[in-house]
Structure 1
Amino acid sequence: MERRVIEAAEALARSLGNDTNHTVAAAAMDTNGRIHTAVNVYHFTGGPSAELVTLGVAATAGAGPLVAMAAAGDGGRGLISPCGRCRQVMLDLHPDILVAIPTVAGPQMRPIAKLLSDTYFFPDAQAERVFRFNRRYYDAVASGRKTSSVRWDERIAVGLAIFYFEDDAECPPLRGKILEVLRYRINGLTPERLRLSNGGTVEGYLESLRRHYPAMPADAFVDVVDFHVASSDPDHA
């Protein structure tokens, strides 16, 4: 579903014509699956890129945190990567957004943090965080039956977050709170650390985790994330 931003950006780019002031189109998707689009404003004083205009359009529509962004050039140039300034702004304002980039293997969705490793974080951005789930976990999370998740190579922060269920418009986002993030090496995981209470085994859990993260090394560190949905979190405003 998030790849819809690529189609939206490319469609808008094809409509731009020969206006040299507007040569790039961008599209962003919010946690409710809405697509927001805009174009750049070229000017010698440093007009804003299409991605930045799109952030403003989305904010005007009350979109909240964004989960995906894509940009495309006019004249059939297709998908293009964001410039450094756009990457920094997206990282600070929407730190959990996925960004479409062109590769030799075709378009790929990459976490914005992967496009700006070891970068500076603006401390006053106050960005609203997004915690992603596979859609099959919606009922368990919404009911409060599922209150932990194991993640690898993701930047998870303690605090309020929107729980977003990928690739399913029928699963609306939930509000909740990340309570704790505990890091362990894989070989140090135990049933207790994995919160296994239904007879599951560490080996079975790791087999499923490796399917989800095929690039995860055998000696990786993983994060055990404890959370609450808003309905079960009395401290959530």
Structure 2
Amino acid sequence: MITDPVGPDAVPALIDAAREHGDGNIHTVAAAVLDEHDRIHVGLNLYHFTGGPCAELVALATARTAGAQAPRLIVAVGDEGRGVLAPCGRDRQVLADYYPTISVVVPTPDRPQVVGAEELLPHTYRWQAQQVQRLRFRASHLPAVRDGSKRATLRLDDPVQVGPALLVFEPARTDTAGDLNAGDVDDEVTLAGRITSTTAKTVAEISDEEAREDGFADAASVLPGLRNYYPHLSSDDYVVLVRFDVDES
């Protein structure tokens, strides 16, 4: 069990926010998410006999729509005075897969308590373990990766983790004359490798040294450079510095 992970008022505030919603008909459960900026995002379930979305998943999607990238706490509350509800099996698997560090409010005979997502689903199935993850690059990066001068990459919304990986270099794009762009290849190339570390931080927090690891001149070059890949990226957005090695063969 986690004790007081985000402050003494967080859990009551989330419960109060969730209880304000729901109509007793098709919306019978409300969930609230506390994000990394201490904002609360509320979602409702949508009951349907075919299996509508749970309130927790709606709240997580609502939080992401508002720009949240690191949800910290989630709680679901039922109508008719049912109080705090524990996540269903599907929600537990989703939390374990995508939000393994999130805290979850659960009911107990005495009072609601806060636990870690992985405590809800011990010995959980890990789909990631059933396949080798892929880290994709533009083909123009292949020479630098091959000669060892590039061993890091900055990523947005690329859910990789430490462990074995295939480094995939995508086929070249052609210019308006139909010629291959410089440094590109015309067939997909894969290299066996391993992701050695992942570090999340905002673009504004990237240091000059970290910027140079990914081939940028300095930290000031990161935002305009990454916008070639992520046009709507802002300095407040979180990116992940992924460091990797290439297997010798």
TM-score bucket of the superposed structures, by smaller chain: 0.5 to 0.7
Q: How much has 1:8 moved relative to structure 2?
A: 4.2
Superposed CA offset, 1:12-60 (max 9, x none): 4433464310011111111121111111110111001100101110111
- State TM-score, norm by structure 1: 0.53
- Contact residue 10 and residue 73 of structure 1 kept, 8 A: no
Residue 112 of structure 2 corresponds to 107
Report the 3-state secondary structure (helix = DSSP H, G, I; strand = E; otherwise coil) of the residue aligned with 2:72: strand
Report matched runs for 1:96-175 at 5 Å. 96-123=101-128, 126-127=158-159, 159-162=197-200, 174=201
Superposed CA offset, 1:178-233 (max 9, x none): xxxxxxxxxxxxxxxxxxxxxxxxxxxxxxxxxxxxxxxxxxxxxxxxxxx84386
Distance change >3 Å, CA 57–CA 128, structure 1 → 2 = farther
Is structure 2 residue 53 aligned with structure 1 residue 48?
Answer: yes
Amino acid at match of 2:55: A
Residue 231 of structure 1 corresponds to 207
State the alpha-carbon separation in 2 of the partners of residues 82 and 104 from structure 1. Answer: 16
Report matched runs for 1:1-237 at 5 Å. 1=6, 6-16=11-21, 18-123=23-128, 126-127=158-159, 159-162=197-200, 174=201, 230-231=206-207, 234=210, 235=213, 236=241
Distance change >3 Å, CA 17–CA 64, structure 1 → 2 = closer
State the alpha-carbon separation in 1 of the partners of residues 160 and 41 from structure 2. Answer: 18
- Contact residue 6 and residue 27 of structure 1 kept, 8 A: no
State the alpha-carbon separation in 1 of the partners of residues 108 and 209 from structure 2. Answer: 42
Amino acid at match of 2:125: Y
Count, aligned residues: 147
- State TM-score, norm by structure 2: 0.51
State the alpha-carbon separation in 1 of the partners of residues 74 and 25 from structure 2. Answer: 23
- Contact residue 14 and residue 76 of structure 1 kept, 8 A: no
State the alpha-carbon separation in 2 of the partners of residues 231 and 66 from structure 1. Answer: 25
Which fold has the larger relative contact order, with Cα–Cα distance below 8 Å and residues 6 or more apart in sequence? 1
**Identity over the aligned pairs, expressed in percent?**
39
Distance change >3 Å, CA 128–CA 11, structure 1 → 2 = farther
State the alpha-carbon separation in 2 of the partners of residues 233 and 104 from structure 1. Answer: 52
Amino acid at match of 1:58: A
State the alpha-carbon separation in 1 of the partners of residues 22 and 118 from structure 2. Answer: 33
Q: How much has 1:9 moved relative to structure 2?
A: 4.3
- Contact residue 51 and residue 71 of structure 1 kept, 8 A: yes
Q: How much has 1:118 moved relative to structure 2?
A: 0.7
Report the 3-state secondary structure (helix = DSSP H, G, I; strand = E; otherwise coil) of the residue aligned with 1:47: coil
- Contact residue 99 and residue 109 of structure 1 kept, 8 A: yes
Q: How much has 1:121 moved relative to structure 2?
A: 1.9
State the alpha-carbon separation in 2 of the partners of residues 233 and 160 from structure 1. Answer: 16
Report the 3-state secondary structure (helix = DSSP H, G, I; strand = E; otherwise coil) of the residue aligned with 1:66: coil
Q: How much has 1:85 moved relative to structure 2?
A: 0.3
State the alpha-carbon separation in 2 of the partners of residues 110 and 18 from structure 1. Answer: 28
- Contact residue 25 and residue 40 of structure 1 kept, 8 A: yes
- Contact residue 9 and residue 25 of structure 1 kept, 8 A: no
Report the 3-state secondary structure (helix = DSSP H, G, I; strand = E; otherwise coil) of the residue aligned with 2:101: coil
